[in-house]
Chains A and B, each alone.
Chain A
Amino acid sequence: EPEVTQTPSHQVTQMGQEVILRCVPISNHLYFYWYRQILGQKVEFLVSFYNNEISEKSEIFDDQFSVERPDGSNFTLKIRSTKLEDSAMYFCASPVPTGGDDEQFFGPGTRLTVL
């Protein structure tokens, strides 16, 4: 089964610091996604990235957030100045288009704790 990997598994940071979350999505796919899940709440969409550009972003994805694909395999989510409310699990997802279906495979997540 295809696998998405994420690092680090857990990141603890002080409020106001920058963090970079890393993802290695399933190779040879054009779409990549970031989602987050605050403890006890729904999984929420943050941003989608298609062909090296942001294709859609949610209201959560404000100017403090950015995504990059620094090389052919890695995909990063940067939060410039973290806030307490940014504490959440962050998931990278990579789809596998198969005959019209889109199955999004999720990574194991990065738990971000902002103190």
Chain B
Amino acid sequence: TQLLEQSPQFLSIQEGENLTVYCNSSSVFSSLQWYRQEPGEGPVLLVTVVTGGEVKKLKRLTFQFGDARKDSSLHITAAQPGDTGLYLCAGARAAGNKLTFGGGTRVLVKP
């Protein structure tokens, strides 16, 4: 059974601070995706990483895929209250396969 563990489960920071969310597994994934989910809504895709060691940037968000394709991180620089939300990582074993989700990290950015 593939498992994705996210840490921390909850993160509360002040506006302007940096934060990092981790997503770890003992399994290798073909691709790993990061989503953001608002209460009562579906997950919204932020980025997909597919190559070991890959780094992708989306404005103040930096996503990294581990060299062994077992783990990933999301780093937010100078967080803003608009970054508040639930961040989910999800991995796929191969193209077209189901996604296995982590438990999520709830981020609260205080103004």
Chain A residues near B (Cβ < 8 Å): 4, 31, 33, 35, 41-45, 48, 50, 56, 58, 89, 91, 93, 95, 97, 100-109, 111
Specify which chain B residues have a CB less than 8 angstroms from the CB of A48 in the assembled complex: 96-98
Q: Are A91 and B101 CB-contacts (below 8 A) given A43-B88, A43-B90, A102-B48?
A: no
Specify which chain A residues have a CB less than 8 angstroms from the CB of B101 in the assembled complex: 42-44
Is B95 close to A, CB under 8 A? yes
Specify which chain B residues have a CB less than 8 angstroms from the CB of A106 in the assembled complex: 35, 42-45
Specify which chain B residues have a CB less than 8 angstroms from the CB of A31 in the assembled complex: 96
| B33 x A100 contact (CB < 8 A) | no
Give 7 closest A-B pairs by Cβ, nearest first: A106-B42, A43-B101, A45-B98, A102-B95, A109-B42, A106-B43, A108-B42
Is B73 close to A, CB under 8 A? no
Specify which chain A residues have a CB less than 8 angstroms from the CB of B41 in the assembled complex: 108-109
Is B66 close to A, CB under 8 A? no
Closest to A97 in B: B95
Interface of A, secondary structure class, is: strand
Interface bits B39-76 vs A (CB < 8 Å: 1, else 0): 01111110010100000000000000000000000000
| A104 x B40 contact (CB < 8 A) | no
Q: List 21 A-B contacts (CB under 8 A).
A: A4-B42, A35-B99, A42-B103, A43-B43, A45-B98, A48-B98, A56-B97, A91-B43, A93-B99, A100-B50, A102-B31, A103-B45, A104-B33, A104-B99, A105-B45, A106-B45, A107-B42, A108-B41, A109-B41, A109-B42, A111-B40
Is B80 close to A, CB under 8 A? no
| B96 x A50 contact (CB < 8 A) | yes
Nearest chain B CB to A66 CB, angstrom units: 18
Q: Are A97 and B96 CB-contacts (below 8 A) given A42-B101, A42-B104?
A: yes
